[in-house]
Amino acid sequence: MNKHNPLDNVRIVLSHTSHPGNIGAAARAMKTMGLGTLYLVNPKSFPDPAAIARATGALDVLERARVCSSLDEALHGTVLAVACTARSRDLAHETLTAREAAPVLLEHGLQGPVALLFGTEMSGLTNEETGKCQLLAHIPTNPDYSSLNLGAAVQVMAYELRTALPEAAATDAKVRPLASFEDVEFFYQRLEQILVETEFLDPAQPKRLMARLRRMFARARLEAQELNILQGMLTALRK
C-alpha cells in the first residue's frame, strides 16, 4: 500500500476473460495510465502468447498478475469494489459514470486497496459478481452500439483514474515570451500605414479592416519573436 499515490492501490480485476489478447491489451492500457496491479479470476488461458503480444511494453504488469480461483479471493483486502458495467440492471446499485467513479476510487485508494472489476467479453458481470461490489461504474456510449472491447474499457477507466489525480493537472507547457502591448500596437500602426500606401485600405472607406485584423491577431496571442517576423516581412514586402 502506498499512501502517496492512490493509483498504486487500484487493483484491476478481470473476471473469466475469454481472449488472452484482451488481458495483454488491458495490461498495456493500465501501464500507460500508471496502474500496475492486475488480478485475473479464472481466465480461460493465462499465461498465453497472445497476451504477451498485446502487452508490448507492459510485460511487467502481466508477470506480476495474480490468478485467482474466485472473485472473493481477488477482492480480498479491498476497501472498495466498483463493477464496470454496460448493462443497466434490474436491482441496480448506485451507478456512477466513469468520470464520477474515478475520484471515488482514488479517495478510497488513499486508505487501502480498491478494486475495479470487469466481466467477460460476451456477457459482462453476473448479478452475483456485481453484488459483491459497492458501486457500479458506467462508460457513456452510443446507445445503438455500446460494446466496448474489454481492453478499450480498461483504457477508458484507467484514463479517468489518471485524469482524476490532482498531480495530472500539472502542465508542462514551455512558456514563450509574448509580444508586448505597445509592440503590437506599433505593428498595427505600421501595417495600417502600409495598407493605405498600397491602396488596399481606403482611409475614406476603411470599413472594419483594421478591426478585423486586430481581432485575428488577438486570437493568435502573438509572441515577441513572431512579431519580429511579421515586422521583417513588412519591411521585405515594401522594398
Its sign, for the CA torsion 37, 41, 43, 46, is positive
Segment interacting with its own copies, rule: CB under 8 A, options 64-72, 109-117, 123-131, 142-150? 142-150
Where do the H-state alpha helices sit in 165-223?
181-197, 209-220
Q: How far is the CB of 94 from its own copies (least distance, A)?
A: 9
Please give the size of the binding site for its own copies, defined by CB under 8 A. Answer: 61
Cβ atoms 41, 12 nearer than 8 A: no
> Residue 216 and residue 172: Cα distance in Å, rounded?
27
Q: How far is the CB of 4 from its own copies (least distance, A)?
A: 15
> Residue 33 and residue 146: Cα distance in Å, rounded?
23
4 counts as binding its own copies under rule CB under 8 A: no
Cell 488481458, located at residue = 23
> Residue 80 and residue 209: Cα distance in Å, rounded?
61
**Residues in 45-104 that interact with its own copies by CB under 8 A:** 54, 56-58, 88, 92, 95, 99
Q: How far is the CB of 211 from its own copies (least distance, A)?
A: 11
Cis peptide preceding 47, ω within 30 of 0? yes
Which residues of this chain interact with its own copies, rule CB under 8 A? 25, 28-29, 31-34, 54, 56-58, 88, 92, 95, 99, 139-142, 144-149, 151-152, 155-156, 159, 162-163, 168, 172-174, 194-195, 198-200, 209, 212-213, 216-217, 219-223, 225-226, 229, 232-233, 235-239
